[in-house]
Chain A
Amino acid sequence: EDQVTQSPEALRLQEGESSSLNCSYTVSGLRGLFWYRQDPGKGPEFLFTLYSAGEEKEKERLKATLTKKESFLHITAPKPEDSATYLCAVQDLIQGAQKLVFGQGTRLTINP
């Protein structure tokens, strides 16, 4: 059974203090790993997709990396507007349909 575990559950940083969020996964065959951002009371917003170990993607202050067992979301010099819950999900195929298995999320707070 596919499993996704994110750590830490919550993280508080000062503005400008860089850090990383972790997503560990077990899946029979990784077809894709997705990162989403979710603001309180809203739907998840897509950030990145990674497909193979060694792949990296960047967007503004965020950079996602992938190994065979985990993915990291690095946040460099964060700002208060980066505060949100960050969700990681792995893609599986069930009867030809895409299924995402989500971790529980990391709640990130950036203090000014």
Chain B
Amino acid sequence: DGGITQSPKYLFRKEGQNVTLSCEQNLNHDAMYWYRQDPGQGLRLIYYSQIVNDFQKGDIAEGYSVSREKKESFPLTVTSAQKNPTAFYLCASTRGQGNIQYFGAGTRLSVL
């Protein structure tokens, strides 16, 4: 079945540590997105990528980094510069402009 796979489901970060969240899709979608969701708030855009080897900052990119070396994969690194990383992280993809964004199941990141 086609879909978006996020891993791990739960992740814990220690002080000063970088952690990487995985997002893989087999939908042959061109564009991929990372969102952050905090309790009682809507989703906020961190980074997005329209094509391989190209990506742009969203509204809250500080403290995060991404790469897009393959069409299927768009990993997100939460760096030690992100001082409040505890949140639910969602990856999405879409075929192109005007099309529906489909979401993965999410990764919940907590700080130890």
Contact = CB atoms under 8 A, between A and B. Distances in A.
A20 interface: no
Contact of B42 (A46, A99, A102): A102
B24 to A, nearest CB: 14
A112 interface: no
Interface residues of A, number: 29
Interface string B49-72: 010000010100000000000000
Contacts of B6: 43
Contacts of B56: 94-95, 97
Contact of B100 (A43, A49, A93, A103): A49
B48 A87 contact: no
A46 B100 contact: yes
Interface of A is mostly: strand
- Find the residue from B42, B50, B104, B105 having the highest chain A CB count within 10 A: B42
Nearest to A95: B56
Contact of A96 (B97, B99, B102): B97
B48 A97 contact: yes
Interface in A63-112: 87, 89, 91, 93-105
Interface of A: 4, 9, 31-32, 34, 36, 41-46, 49, 87, 89, 91, 93-105
Interface of B: 4, 6, 31, 40-45, 48, 50, 56, 58, 88, 90, 94, 96-106, 108
